[in-house]
Amino acid sequence: MHPLGDAMQHLQLLARMGKHLGADLVEAFEAGKITQEDWAEMITSCRGCDAPEGCRSWLENQDHTEAAAKAARPPAYCCNAARLLKLRETS
C-alpha cells in the first residue's frame, strides 16, 4: 500500500470529478445530501487511489470537451464513482 496523497490535491480532483459528472459536492453538502464525514471519507478514499495522474489526464481531456457536455461515467478506476453518480441522480 502506498502513502496517502496530498489532501488538498485530492480535494481538488474530487471536486473537479464531481463537476464533470454533474454532481456538485458543495451544493450536496449545503443541501444536506452529504455530511462532513461523507465528504472526508470521499477525500480519504481519493487520497488512497494509485491513479491520480490518470485522473488528472482524464479531467484535462474533459476540460477540452464542450462546456455543456457532462461525462456520463467516471473512469473505471475512480474509487468514488458510485457516490458521485448517486449524488448526480439526486441533484
Domain around 26:
7-90
Q: 49 pLDDT exceeds 90?
A: yes
Instruction: Judge whether 22 lies within some domain.
Output: yes
pLDDT of residue 67: 55
Q: What is the pLDDT of residues 4-48, one digit of tens each?
A: 999 999 999 999 999 889 999 999 999 999 999 999 999 999 999
Instruction: Judge whether 80 lies within some domain.
Output: yes
- Structure pTM? 0.87
Rounded distance, CA 83 to CA 41, Å?
11
Instruction: Judge whether 49 lies within some domain.
Output: yes
Maximum C-alpha span of the chain: 38
Sole residue written with cell 474509487: 79
Instruction: Judge whether 59 lies within some domain.
Output: yes
Give one word for 59, left, alpha or beta, with left for phi > 0 and alpha for psi -120 to 50.
alpha
CA 47 to chain centre: 11
Instruction: Judge whether 79 lies within some domain.
Output: yes
Instruction: Judge whether 52 lies within some domain.
Output: yes
Give the number of domains in the chain.
Answer: 1
Q: 79 pLDDT exceeds 60?
A: yes
Instruction: Judge whether 35 lies within some domain.
Output: yes
Instruction: Judge whether 1 lies within some domain.
Output: no
Rounded distance, CA 37 to CA 21, Å?
21
